[in-house]
Amino acid sequence: MARKDLRGSIDMEDAERTLLAVQWWEHIIASSPSAVAPGNVEEVLADLIAELAASMNTDPFDAAVGLQVGAALVTAGLPEAAPISSVLPLRKLAAVSLVDDAERRASVLLASVVRGYREKSARAVSSVPIDPSEPRAITEEAFRAALDSAAVGVVIGDLDGTVRYTNPAMAAQMGVPLEALRTLSVFDYTHPDDVDEANAQFLDQMGRGSSTARVESRMIRPDGEVRWSSVVVTLVPGPGGHPDTFVAVAEDVTERRRLQEELHWQARHDALTGLSNRRGLLEQIDAIVTAATSDDRIGLCFADLDQFKLVNDQYGHTIGDSVLAAVAHRLQSAVAEYDYTVTRIGGDEFVVLIPPPADDTRVVAVADALLASLTTPIAVGEYDVRMSVSIGAVVAEVSDQEATALLDAADRALYRAKSDGRHRWVLHDGTDTETG
C-alpha cells in the first residue's frame, strides 16, 4: 500500500529539531543525573526526532519506527531514562501534527520506543518455559476462568489497539455481545469527545516513568447510552522477543461520577430554594475575576427581606420557609431575561450577580425588577403574605478584586438602604451613592 506523506507545513526546521533535542537531553539527565552525553548527542536526538515526526505524520501509520528509535538510543549509549523521556518530543510532535489521531499515534510510538530500547539492550523479560503437560492446561483453564468471571472488564491486546481477549464483564459494560468486542479497536470504546484527552493522560503518566496509567473517560454504548469508565492500562513487555501487549482493567464508575456531581451540586446550592449558595457565588465571582480584563466591571445586588422575622413569629417557620421559596422563585423570574445568577447566601438574604459588562444602568434595572417582583402578596395556603425587599447594589472593576470585598461593599450599600426606610435600593459605585 502506498504511503501518503501528510507532513506538509508541519516539517520542523533544523533549529527547532536541535532545540527540541536539547530539551530531550535535559529531560534525560534530569532522570539520570549520572548519564554521560555522547559527543554528538544533540545530533543523534535531532535525527531521531525527524524519524518520529515522519512516522507520526505519514499514512498508513507504522509504529515500527519507534522500535528503530529505541534501538538507536541503546546504540548511542543513552541511559534507560531515554525511551521514557521520549514522551517530551512526542507530545511536541503531536501538538503540531495535522493528523486527527496524533495523540493516539504518540502513545503507540512511545510504547514502541520503550520496547525497541528493551529488546536492543537485551533486558527484555524472559519467559519461563512450561512443560506442555496437564498441569499447564489446568493452569491456563483456571486463569481464563478467573478472568471470565471477574466483575470488572478486562481487555488484553496489542499496542496498535487490536483486541486479543476481552471478558464478559467488559461486554456487559459496553452493552454488546462478547464476540463483537473482539473485532473492535480499544479506541472505539471511548467517547469521541474524550479520545484526545484520554490519550494525553496516558502519555503524561507514561512519561513519568510508569508502566501503568489510569484514565477516566466516557464510554459510549451502541444504543447511545454514555457511561463513565475508569481504566487502568498496564504495558507488559513481551517475553523472549514476543510483541509487547497491554492489559486494560475497566470499571464502570457511572454511579460514582453521578454521586460526585450530585454532592458537588449540593455543596454549591441552597437546599430550600435550589438557588446557588454563598460558596457557589464566591466561586463564580472568583472565576469572573480570573478571566476579566482591566476594563471589565461587575455588579452585585444584595437583597434582604424587610422584617422577615415577623413572618416567622406570626405564621411559624414552616410558612416562613414557604415564603422564602416563593421569594426565591420571584427574584429568579425577575431576572430571567438577563440569565443572571440568583444566590441565597443565608437566612432571608439574596444576591444577584451581574457579570461583565456591568454598568450603573444595568444594575439599576435589575434592582428595580427585584423590587417590583414583590409588590403583590405571596399566597401560602390560606395566607396572603406581603413582603418587601431592600437592596444594596455595587458596581466595581473586576480585576484584582476579591469576591468577599465585593460582597462587603454591597452589604454596606444594603445597610444604607435599610437606614433610609426599606423597600428601596442604594447603588454604591465606589465614588458616590445613588438611591432609588
Q: Specify the higher pLDDT residue, 5 or 142.
A: 142
How far is it, in rounded angstroms, from Cα 219 to Cα 227? 5
- Co-location of 320 and 255 in the same domain: no
- 388: CATH: 3.30.70.270
What confidence score (pLDDT) does residue 184 get?
63
The total of structural domains in the chain comes to 3
Are 273 and 403 found together in one domain? yes
From 260, 282, 298, the end of a domain falls on 260
pLDDT at residue 73, rounded to an integer: 87
- Indicate the pLDDT class of residue 346, thresholds 50, 70 and 90: confident
> Do the domain assignments include residue 167?
yes
**Burial of residue 360, with CB atoms counted within 10 A of its CB: 0-12 exposed, 13-18 middle, 19 or more buried:** middle
Last residue of a domain, one of 120, 142, 173: 120
Let me know: does 378 contact 323? Beta carbons within 8 Å.
Answer: yes
* Average pLDDT score, the chain: 80
The reported pLDDT for the residue numbered 196 is 83
Res 41: pLDDT: 83
- Asked whether residue 125 is assigned to any structural domain, the reply reads no
Task: Identify the domain containing residue 166 by its residue range.
Answer: 134-260
Query: Are residues 222 and 297 located together in one domain of the fold?
Result: no
Do 112 and 28 lie in one domain? The reply is yes
The residue with greater pLDDT, 7 or 201, is: 201
Residue 236 falls inside a structural domain: yes
User: Over the stretch 62-94, which tens digit does the pLDDT of each residue have?
Assistant: 888 888 998 888 888 888 778 777 877 888 888
288 lies in the same domain as 428: yes
pLDDT for res 130: 42
Q: Are 110 and 140 within one domain?
A: no
Q: Which CATH number is 239's domain given?
A: 3.30.450.20
| pLDDT of the residue at 325 | 94
Tell me the residue type at 246: F
Q: Does residue 264 have a pLDDT over 70?
A: yes
The pLDDT tens digits of the residues spanning 235-256 come to 877 766 666 788 888 888 888 8
What percentage of the chain exceeds 70 in pLDDT? Answer: 84
Look at residue 328 in the predicted model and tell me its pLDDT.
94
Angstrom distances, CA of residue 162 to CA of 130, 186, 249, 399, 426: 27, 7, 15, 52, 68
Tell me: pLDDT of 334 over 80. yes
Q: Is residue 50 part of a domain?
A: yes
Question: Do residues 274 and 418 both lie within one domain?
Answer: yes
Final residue of a structural domain among 260, 290, 306? 260
- The runs of H, that is alpha helices, within 152-252 are 168-174, 178-181, 195-206
Task: Mark whether 221 and 288 lie in a shared domain.
Answer: no
Rounded to an integer, what distance in angstroms lies between the CA atom of residue 244 and that of residue 372? 71
53, 18: one domain: yes
By CB atoms closer than 10 A (0-12, 13-18, 19+), residue 388 is: middle
21: Cβ contacts below 8 Å, ≥ 6 apart: 41, 42, 43, 44, 45, 46, 49, 89
Query: What pLDDT score does 323 carry?
Result: 93
Q: Are residues 51 and 35 in the same domain?
A: yes
pLDDT(111) > 80: no
Same structural domain, 341 and 405: yes
pLDDT tens column, 146-191: 778 878 888 888 776 677 888 888 888 888 888 877 766 656 778 8
Helices (H), 121-160: 134-148
Q: Is residue 170 part of a domain?
A: yes
> pLDDT-derived band of residue 129, with 50, 70 and 90 as boundaries?
very low
pLDDT of residue 10: 40
pTM: 0.58
| Domain co-membership, 200 together with 288 | no
Q: Does 43 have pLDDT greater than 70?
A: yes
Strand partners, 394: 300, 428
* Res 3 pLDDT > 60: no
Average pLDDT over residues 407-412: 79
Q: Which residues of 231-255 are buried (b: 16+ CB within 10 A; e: fewer)?
A: bebebebbeeeeebbbebbbbbbee
pLDDT tens sequence across 24-40: 888 787 777 766 767 78
pLDDT digits (tens, 9 = 90+) for 293-303: 878 888 889 89
Q: How far apart are CA 374 and CA 331, in angstroms?
A: 8
129 lies in a domain?
no
Residue 54 included in any domain: yes
Residue 360: strand, helix, or coil: helix
Alpha-helical (H) ranges within 59-127 are 64-75, 81-85, 87-96, 102-120
